[in-house]
Structure 1
Amino acid sequence: MYLENRSYQIQGVRVLDIADQFGLPTYVYDADKIIQKIDLLRSSFTGVDLKIKYALKALSNLSILKLMRSQGVEVDVVSVNEARLAMRAGYEPSQIMYTPSGNRFAEIQEAIALGLTINADSLPLIEQIGQTYGSTVPICIRINPSIIDGGNLKIQTGHADSKFGIPNQYRPQIKALVEQYGIPVIGLHIHTGSDFKDGNTFLKIADVLFDLASDFPDLRFMDFGSGFKVAYREGDHATDLAELGQKVSAAFKEFCARYGRNIELWFEPGKLLVSESGHLLANVNVVKENPTRTFVQVDTGLNHLIRPMMYDAWHDIINVSNPEGPETLYTVVGYICETDTFATDRLLPQVRTNDVLSFENAGAYGFMMASTYNMRGRPAEVMVYDGQAYLIRERETFEDLLRGQIEIEFTELTTI
C-alpha cells in the first residue's frame, strides 16, 4: 500500500490512491489538461478558419480519441489501422487526414476506399494515384521545405536530408504530374518536426506554401503540421502560442486575400495536447548504493518510456511518497536487462524502497512507443476526468504476451 503521503493530486484525485487502486506501473492522463491545451491552441488563432487535427500517433487510446472528438478536434493518422481506430472512436472518414511515409500502395488504396483525405508525400505516390484513379481522388501534397530549427535530429522532419515529404525543388515535377492526370489538389502540407524554439519558423514554412499555392487554384486548406515546443522542466523554453497565433493568423489572412478566397488553416498537434497530461507512476524496487553513485531501481524501464534513451529526453521525476524528504543525488534506472537510465545524478527528495515515483510529461509517446521487451507487459492506462479516475486500458498479462504464438512440437533428443 502506498499510504505515506497523499499531497500530490490530479484534479483532486490523490495519486497514491490511483496507485493503490490500479497498481504499478501505470500511466495516468489528466483530461482537464488536454482540454486546456486544446482551448489554448484554439484561442491563439483569431480571424481564420482553424481546424485542429490531433496527431493520433502521440497517444491513441480510444478514450483519449473520444475526448478529442468531444472537443471538436479531428485527427491525423499515419496508418490505416490508426484510421480504423479513429473511426471506432466515432470519427467520420472525412475528418481523418492520412499521411503515409513510404507505405505500400495497397494500404494507400485501403485508405482511399475508406474515404480518408490522402496526403501524398512522394512523386511516385502521386504518379501511382494518377495512374490508378485518374482525376477521381483528390489529394493533399506534403512538401519538404529544407528548413531545420531545433529539437533532436531524430525528430526533425523538414530538413533537406529527411525522408519526409517532397522537396520543394521538385515543384515543376509535382505540377506536371498533377496536370498529366488531372489530379485535384485540395491541400498543401508541411510538417518540419518537433521542438521549434523560434515561432518564426512557421512563418518561413508559410511563405513556402503561400508561394506554391499559385500552382493550385482549388485548395481547401493549408496544413502547417505541428512542432510546438513543450516545456519538460523548469525554465525550459516553450512555444509562445499567443505570439505565434497572432503572427500566423495575420500572414494567413493576407495570403487568403491574395489567393482570392478564404481557405482553412490546419495544425496537427500531438505532443502539445497530451504530453503534459501524462504521468507514468512506478514503484521503487531497490535503492542501491555503489561507490560512485546511488541507483534508484524502479519497476519500469525503456520498455515503457523510451524517450530518455532514444532522444536523451528530460522527464521531471517526482517522489510522490516522500516529497519533503532531504534532497539526495540519485541515478534513476529501470528493470530492463539493458542500460535504461531515466536520469543521471538527479536531485530528488530522499527515495526509499516502495516509494512511488511519477515520471512527468509521459502522455506523448510513452505508451505508444512501449514494448514487451524482456516479456514485461505494458502498464494499465487511467484517465482522470471530472474528478474521477477511470481505467481506460487493462494491464497486459502473461496470457496477453503469449497471444498469437504458435507452438511446434519437437522430438526430444535422447543422449546415451
Structure 2
Amino acid sequence: MQINQNRYQIQGVDVLAMAEEFGLPLYVYDADKIIEKIGTLQAAFQGVTLKIKYAAKALTNVSILKLMRSRGIDIEVVSVNEIRMALLAGFDSGQIMYTPSGVSFAEIQEALALGVRLNVDSLPLLEFMGQTYGSRKPVGIRINPHIAEGGNIKIQTGHADSKFGISMEQRSEIRAIVERYSIPVVGLHIHTGSDFKNADAFLKGADVLFELASDYPDLEFLDFGSGFKVAYREGDHSTDVVELGRKVTTAFRNFCRNYGREIELCFEPGKFLVSESGVLLVNVNVVKQNPNRTFVGVDSGLNHLIRPMMYDAYHEIVNVSNPAGEKQTYSVVGYICETDTLGWDRSLNEVRPGDVLALKNAGAYGFSMSSNYNSRVRPAEVLVYEGKPYLIRRRETFEDLVRNQIEVDFEEEISIKK
C-alpha cells in the first residue's frame, strides 16, 4: 500500500474507492506484491533444481491459487478440501503435496484416490500405508528434527514435544516399516516453524535430512518447509532471503554431490508470499474516551483477524481517511463480545467516526482463520491485478449463517406429545 498525494493506493487504485465500491470490512490483496515475492525466492536459489510449493492454508481463495499456478508455483495442502480447492484452481494432482497431521486414515485414502503426493507424519500412518498399499504408493516422510526455533511457541513445529512429524530418534523404526513393506520413499520433509530470522535454522534442519537421506537411495526431493520471517513494523527484522539462498544452495549442492545425483530442493512458503500483499480495511464505529485510554471501535475483530489475540501478532494500522491529521494515541478494538484488541496504544492520525483504517500484513492467516463468531458475517475479498480490482469472494449474508441449520419446532413436538 503506497501513499500518493495523501491517498492510499494499491497499484494506483484508491483504497477508499474500493471501500466505497465493495463495502467494509474488506480484505484487499495486491497481486503485484505476491508476484514480487515469488521472484525474490526464485532469484535467491540459483544453481539447484528449486520447487516452490505454496502453503495454501495461508490464503486459500481459488483466485489466489490460480495466480500461484500461473507463476509456476506448486502447492502444499493439509486437508482433503484444500486438495479439492487446488484441483478447482487447475493444479494437476502431481503438483499437490499433501502433508496432513493426525487425520483419519479414511481421509488419507480419499486424498490418494485424487492422485496427490503424500508426506507421512507418523509411524502408525506409515504402517497403514504399508499394509494398505505395499509398494504401490510412493511417499515422503515428515521428520521432526528436534529444533526449537522461530517465533511464538504456537508456531514452533519442529521441537521434540511437537505433534508434527516422526521423531529423528525413530530412524530405525521408520526404516523397519519401509523395508517390511517395500514402501517407495521419494522425499524427506521438515517444517520447524515460522518466523526464522536467518539461515541457521534451515541449515540445522538440512543437516538432519542430509544424514537421514543415506537410508533412502531413490529420493526425488528434500523439502525444508518454510518459516521465512516478514517484517510487521518499521525496523522489524525479516529473513535475509539472499543470505538464506546462498547458504542453503551451497549446502544442498554439496549434499547432491555426496548423494550421487541431483534432486529437487523444495520450500513451502505461505506467509512469505501473501502476508505483505494483504490489507484489512475497517470502518470506525465509535471513538470512546475513557479516563486512561482512548478506544477506537471498528466494525471487525478477532472474527476476521484473530492473529493479534491468538499470537500477540503486530499489524501496523493506518488511518487512510485522514492521513494528514494530527497524531494521537489510540487503542483499536473490535466489536466482538470478547477482548479483541487489534492494536494497543497506536500513534494514528486523528481518528473520527466513519474513518477507514487499514490493517497491514493481513494477507496470511487473516481470512483463512476467520469465523462467524457472534453470528457475524465474514468480509468480501478483492484482488488488485494489473491495476484493476476484482471481487474474488462476496460478503456473507445472514442467509449464509443459517443455510445449513435445521430448525426443529419444539412447541409442535410438545403439543404432539400432549
Asked whether 1:216 is paired with 2:216, we answer yes
Amino acid at match of 1:14: D
1:104 aligns with 2:99: no
C-alpha separation in 1, matches of 2:308 and 2:89: 31
Cα distance in 1 for partners of 2:199, 2:306 equals 28
Q: Does 1:29 align with 2:16?
A: no
> What SS does structure 2 have at the residue aligned with 1:91?
coil
Indicate the residue corresponding to 2:163 in structure 1. Answer: 163
CA distance in 1, matches of 2:191, 2:401: 36
Specify the alignment match of 1:295 in structure 2.
Answer: 295
Q: Which residue of 2 aligns with 1:409?
A: 409
Counterpart in the other structure of 1:237: 237
One-letter amino acid matched to 1:52: I
Number of equivalenced pairs: 410
CA distance in 2, matches of 1:14, 1:344: 27
CA contact under 8 A between 1:156 and 1:192: conserved in structure 2?
yes
Letter in 2 for 1:254: N
Alpha-carbon distance, 1:330 to partner: 0.4
Equivalent pair of 2:280/2:358 in contact (CA under 8 Å): yes
- Contact map agreement 1:277 1:361 (CA 8 A) in 2: yes
Q: Which residue of 1 aligns with 2:335?
A: 335
Q: TM-score, normalised by structure 2?
A: 0.97
- Provide, for residues 122-170 of structure 1, a one-character-per-residue CA deviation record: whole Å limited to 9, x for no partner: 0000000000111111000000000011200000000000000001000
2:73 is the alignment partner of 1:81? no
How far off is 1:310 after superposition? 0.2
Distance between the aligned counterparts of 1:249 and 1:408, measured in 2? Answer: 62
Paired position in structure 2 for 1:369: 369
- Asked whether 1:43 is paired with 2:43, we answer yes
Rounded Cα–Cα distance in structure 2 between residues aligned with 1:397 and 1:411: 28
Q: Does residue 286 of the first structure (1) align with residue 286 of the second (2)? A: yes
Distance 1:386 1:22 in 2: 18
Which letter does structure 2 place at the counterpart of 1:58?
A: A
SS in 2 for 1:275: helix
**Poorly superposed stretches of 4+, deviation over 2 Å:** none
Letter in 2 for 1:343: G
2:146 — aligned with what?
146
Deviation at 1:346, TM superposition (A): 1.1
User: Does the CA contact (< 8 Å) of 1:138 and 1:186 recur in 2?
Assistant: yes
2:20 is matched with 20
Rounded to whole Å, the distance in 2 between the matches of 1:339 and 1:52 is 38
Q: Distance in 2 between matches of 1:319 and 1:199?
A: 36
How far off is 1:51 after superposition? 0.4
Provide the rounded CA distance (Å) in 2 between the counterparts of 1:94 and 1:272. 23
| Ranges in structure 1 where 5+ consecutive residues have no aligned partner | none
Does the aligned pair in 2 maintain the 1:6–1:14 contact within 8 Å? no
State the distance in 2 between where 1:411 and 1:320 align: 52
TM-score, structure 1 as length reference: 0.97
| Cα distance in 2 between the residues matched to 1:199 and 1:287 | 44
**8 Å CA contact retained: 1:6, 1:15:** no
Residues 48-98 of structure 1 deviation map (CA, whole Å, 9 limit, x = unaligned): 000000000000001000000000001000001100110000000000000
2:71 aligns to what?
71
Contact preservation (8 Å) 2:185, 2:219: yes
Structure 1 position 197 matched with structure 2 position 197: yes
Q: Does the 8 Å CA contact 1:28/1:278 hold for their aligned counterparts?
A: yes
Contact 1:16 1:320 in 2 (8 A): yes
User: What is the root-mean-square deviation in Å for CA atoms of aligned residues?
Assistant: 1.0
Match of 1:270 in 2: 270
Give 1:118's aligned residue. Answer: 118
Amino acid at match of 2:293: R
Contact 2:283–2:355 (CA under 8 A) maintained in structure 1: yes
What is the one-letter code of the residue matched to 1:247?
K
Native 8 Å contact 2:198 2:244 kept in 1: no
- Match of 1:92? 92
- Contact 2:199–2:248 (Cα < 8 Å) also in 1: no
Q: Is the 1:149–1:197 Cα contact (8 Å) retained in structure 2?
A: no
Superposition deviation, residue 6 in structure 1: 6.1
Question: Per the alignment, in what secondary structure is the counterpart of residue 210 of structure 1?
Answer: helix
Aligned counterparts of 2:112 and 2:14: Cα–Cα separation in 1: 46
- Residues 56-67 of structure 1 aligned to structure 2 (within 5 Å): 56-67=56-67
**Do 2:29 and 2:277's aligned partners in 1 also have CA atoms closer than 8 Å?**
yes
- Whether 1:320 and 2:317 are equivalent positions in the alignment is no
Q: Deviations over 1:270-289 (max 9, x none)?
A: 00000000000000000001
- Structure 1 residue matching 2:296: 3-state secondary structure: strand
SS of structure 1 residue aligned to 2:7 = coil
Which letter does structure 1 place at the counterpart of 2:7? S
Secondary structure at the residue paired with 1:378? coil
* Aligned residue type for 1:282: V
What residue in structure 1 maps to residue 256 of structure 2? 256
How far did residue 198 of structure 1 move?
A: 2.6
CA distance in 2, matches of 1:150, 1:388: 37
- The separation in 1 between residues aligned to 2:303 and 2:150, in whole angstroms, is 26
Note the C-alpha offset of 1:324.
Answer: 1.4
Please say if residues 135 and 184 of structure 1, whose CA atoms lie closer than 8 Å, have aligned partners that are also in contact. yes
2:392 aligns to what SS in structure 1?
strand
> What does the per-residue CA deviation read over 1:238-296, in whole Å, with 9 as the maximum and x for residues that have no partner?
00000000000011000000000000000000000000000000000000010110000
Q: Is 1:353 aligned to 2:353, yes or no?
A: yes
Give, in whole Å, the separation in 2 of the partners of 1:343 and 1:333.
7
The residue number in structure 2 matching 1:304 is 304
Find the aligned partners of 1:156 and 1:352 in 2 and give their Cα distance.
40
CA distance, structure 1, for counterparts of residue 149 and residue 94 of structure 2? 32
> Where do residues 178-189 of structure 1 align in structure 2 (5 Å cutoff)?
178-189=178-189
- Quote the Cα distance in structure 2 between the aligned partners of 1:111 and 1:306: 29
Q: Distance in 1 between matches of 2:324 and 2:149?
A: 39
Task: Name the aligned partner's letter for residue 156 of structure 1.
Answer: Q
